[in-house]
Structure 1
Amino acid sequence: MSNASANLQAYRASLLHFHADPASHPDAHAWHADGLLVVEDGRVKAAGDHDALVGTLPPGTPLIDYRGKIITPGFIDTHLHFPQTDMIASPAPGLLPWLETYTFPTERQFMDPVHARATAEFFLDELLRNGTTTALVYCTVHKESADAFFEASAARNLRMAGGKVLMDRHCPDFLRDSPDMRDSEDLIKRWHNKGRALYAITPRFAPTSTESQLGATGELAKAYPDTFIQTHVSENKDEVAWVGELFPHQRSYLHVYDHYGLMRPRAMFGHCIWLDDTDFARMAETGSAIAHCPTSNLFLGSGLFDMAKADSFRALVSLGTDVGAGTSFSMLQTMNEAYKVARLKGSYLPALRMFYLATLGAARSMQLEGTIGNFVPGAEADFIVLDPKATPLLARRTANSDTLEETLFALALLGDDRAVCATYAAGQRVHQREAASH
């Protein structure tokens, strides 16, 4: 009879995870070329060298062999819109016309719970196919959209955060909300900290909220201090100018949110391209976080985020795909564009830093370190299996890699969903890539 727990599994592969930011710590990562990840009851039990750990496994423990591949924590995407899945890659000359022409008409459909659930199912499957196990997600103004998202997420036992959008002006009547927070409060009570769900209070952006709604949003955030807050700030110059006209008494676009009590730990601000030094300092001071969305920023021509400046102020930074203005669900493709944006801003983003930003860096930005983002004992066992030989070009390039940095860089610059061999959530496989036929 086996001595192994029915809920104990082990995975052999190269292991990579982080315990610090590579930008400020020379030994920020743990790398085990022949590693073993031990999972029990959906949580990490141990992670380290295979030879050191294999003897600790009870007889009969299932051991899945992924040698030749790399296991990392699941990717964490800190800014994207599930209702925009169906309008990804829609042509427009800028943010504001893109919203009017595509976004608002698409979001109108989410008052229908059947449509909302079908889209949520596809959206989550697409995230898992790309190795994203946690995301901070915008729904629409409709309660039905948030319920559909959380129901589909719960069915997969995923660590997901999201919320219904708040918007009560400068939008079509069919999407206009009110300053009343009852729907949001009902959703918080129904979903926040239930299973693996987390709720995010979600004002779309300052121009689409009256001062009355922003005030009520701040009160709701104060009443539920462990919820998330997510919104957009300083994405493009036209938007920044518009906010200046709408809120003439506030020092900056970011200060609008600060004025209403919306800057605090677990507050995530998308884009942050046109922040000034005072804004960056305030981000760091309040424990608020930045979601850098390079594919979206390039697609809409919004501008180039200054990662080096954010780092100089010790602001929390993570990566977001920002689907549907973002052009890929893949965090590897998002790393690719983040690297290029950094070069255009005169700085350099090493691959180790990019993988940090998509794992532990994002967990820290969301105040979830110890829960997700690395392989410390007790962390939830959300992880992915990356294949450095997923495509002929990747295989050829990584065969000539002399360092871990080179291999990771190739994955970031050449990889996409094909590089994700398998995705696990709470120790259960939720995606398996089919072998390519030859």
Structure 2
Amino acid sequence: MSQQKTAYRSAIIQIIADPKEVDIEEAYRYFEDGLLVVENGYIVDVGDYIETLAKHNGDMAMVNYQDKIITAGFIDTHIHYPQTGMIASYGEQLLDWLENYTFPEEERFKDPEYAKKVAKIFLNELASNGTTTALVFGTVHKQSVDMFFQEAQRRNLRMICGKVLMDRNAPDYLTDTPECGYNDSKELIEKWHNNGRLSYAVTPRFAPTSTPEQLAMVGQLLQEYPSVYMHTHLSENKQEIEWVKSLFPDREGYLDVYDHYGLLHQRSVFAHGVHLSDCECQRLSDTGSAIAFCPTSNLFLGSGLFDLTRIENFGIRVGMGTDVGAGTSFSLMQTMSEAYKIMQLQQQKLHPIKSLYQATLGGAKALYLDNKIGSLEVGKEADFVVLEPNATTLMKFRMQQTKTLEEKLFVLMSLGDDRTVHATYVYGDLAYKNE
């Protein structure tokens, strides 16, 4: 972490509120010529260049990002690091896709060196796409999480990860037991949770791959360690939902399985939630649980269209997730583009300011980290991304036609990808530069 006070001059966009709760123009601040001042890993000032510079004595390094845009680092609320090597696997829906592609690849993570290799590739991809925080699935192998956390800690990243728990309906080479799952999770929690910028998530894969005994064990861990996260999947696919009903006939529905074992609380994040009843939505809201909206994987696996407006009307916290490897890109820019299309298919609009909110401050709120990250506010950790609006010939030409900031952001989200990310900063230090 750099100790020197450093000021970054650029156009700066600050997301400060959810556009659902305030008028669009009140949801953000924009400084066409702005200054972001960072010291000891934290934001100490931000505002108009001339006004902000005048408040300091000039005893700071200056970095000029002319014709760029600085915003908060992106937050990915659902992604699988072990699926990096099988992204873009052809032609299956969820359950067959798991059997044919996911499980064979995850077996390789019994080798710690392979896990370490993939963790490095994975975190490099996040950085090059402007993602500074993620909620991450490991594999059933304890060492896969150890390797991930070691690499994340070396880079001083704010990351959340957990060992997958599966004790049935999966290949023998990927199953554990309630007892060993408990012991491994407990050891990992005590080693990594709140270790620097790292946090732990208890991670049952999804209800069909855990016995009632294992789900009860997850609830026990959440009681013993109330500050950890709980990360799993929910109502992604209609065939999956029917499978859950057949496995848990005494429960009222998919969410009730998790609820019965005490898995709903303020740091529970459920990926997808495409097919939820009103009662399930209300229960998620009442418990402070969150949903990760994963548009690219929902389209890729043919799972369905997530109704963001309906979910938010229940007061549920929602973050954005790439869901690599069913998701087809590490880029939250591309994910925002797919989210817009999903809303269009439901005759709804997704404003570019709202998209940026979901990928930054909305994700931080879903993870209960908005007091630390998610926006460029004084006192928050200095995780931020420098965007290049003219990254390609087409984008440069298209930007010349734009008349407003909102139009410029929409072009970024529609045409942008990793080429749009000029630089990524983690805790005040340069983590990636697009040379």
Q: 1:7 aligns with which of 1, 4, 7?
A: 4
Q: Does 1:414 align with 2:418?
A: no
Q: Matched residues in 2 for 1:98 and 1:81: separation?
A: 14
Question: Per the alignment, in what secondary structure is the counterpart of residue 325 of structure 2?
Answer: coil
Q: Matched residues in 2 for 1:23 and 1:413: separation?
A: 21
User: 1:153 maps to which residue?
Assistant: 152
State percent identity of aligned pairs. 52
Q: Matched residues in 2 for 1:346 and 1:312: separation?
A: 17
C-alpha distance after superposition, 1:227-259 (max 9, x if no partner): 111000000000000001011111110111111
Question: Per the alignment, in what secondary structure is the counterpart of residue 290 of structure 1?
Answer: strand
* Residue pairs, 1:251-290, within 5 angstroms: 251-290=252-291
Q: Does 1:21 align with 2:18?
A: yes
Q: Does 1:398 align with 2:395?
A: no
Q: Structure 2, unaligned stretches of length 5 or more? A: none
Q: Matched residues in 2 for 1:6 and 1:18: separation?
A: 26
Aligned AA (1:15): I
The 8 Å contact of residues 162 and 200 in structure 2, kept in 1 or not, is answered as yes
The 8 Å contact of residues 335 and 412 in structure 1, kept in 2 or not, is answered as yes
- TM-score (normalised: structure 1): 0.97
Q: Measure how far apart 1:92 and its partner are.
A: 3.0
**Pairs aligned (count):** 430
After TM superposition, what 4+ stretches of structure 1 lie above 3 angstroms from structure 2?
A: none
The 8 Å contact of residues 4 and 60 in structure 2, kept in 1 or not, is answered as no
- TM-score (normalised: structure 2): 0.98
User: 2:120 maps to which residue?
Assistant: 121
Question: Per the alignment, in what secondary structure is the counterpart of residue 299 of structure 2?
Answer: helix
Q: Measure how far apart 1:6 and its partner are.
A: 5.0
User: 1:84 maps to which residue?
Assistant: 83
Q: Does 1:324 align with 2:325?
A: yes
The 8 Å contact of residues 68 and 387 in structure 2, kept in 1 or not, is answered as yes
User: 1:163 maps to which residue?
Assistant: 162
Q: Matched residues in 2 for 1:215 and 1:281: separation?
A: 23
The 8 Å contact of residues 46 and 375 in structure 1, kept in 2 or not, is answered as no
Q: Matched residues in 1 for 2:56 and 2:68: separation?
A: 22
Question: Per the alignment, in what secondary structure is the counterpart of residue 58 of structure 2?
Answer: coil
User: 2:50 maps to which residue?
Assistant: 51
Question: Per the alignment, in what secondary structure is the counterpart of residue 348 of structure 1?
Answer: coil
Aligned AA (2:48): D
Q: Matched residues in 2 for 1:264 and 1:29: separation?
A: 30
Aligned AA (1:9): T
Once the two structures are overlaid, the 10-residue window that deviates more, 85-94 or 53-62, is 53-62
Q: Matched residues in 1 for 2:47 and 2:186: separation?
A: 43
Q: Matched residues in 2 for 1:294 and 1:113: separation?
A: 31
Q: Structure 1, unaligned stretches of length 5 or more? A: none
Question: Per the alignment, in what secondary structure is the counterpart of residue 178 of structure 2?
Answer: coil
Q: Matched residues in 1 for 2:279 and 2:432: separation?
A: 43
Aligned AA (1:148): M
Once the two structures are overlaid, the 10-residue window that deviates more, 312-321 or 410-419, is 312-321
C-alpha distance after superposition, 1:40-84 (max 9, x if no partner): 100010111111110122334111001211100000000010000
Q: Matched residues in 2 for 1:66 and 1:310: separation?
A: 38
CA gap of 1:6–1:56, structure 2 versus 1, over 3 A, is: farther
Q: Matched residues in 1 for 2:286 and 2:348: separation?
A: 24
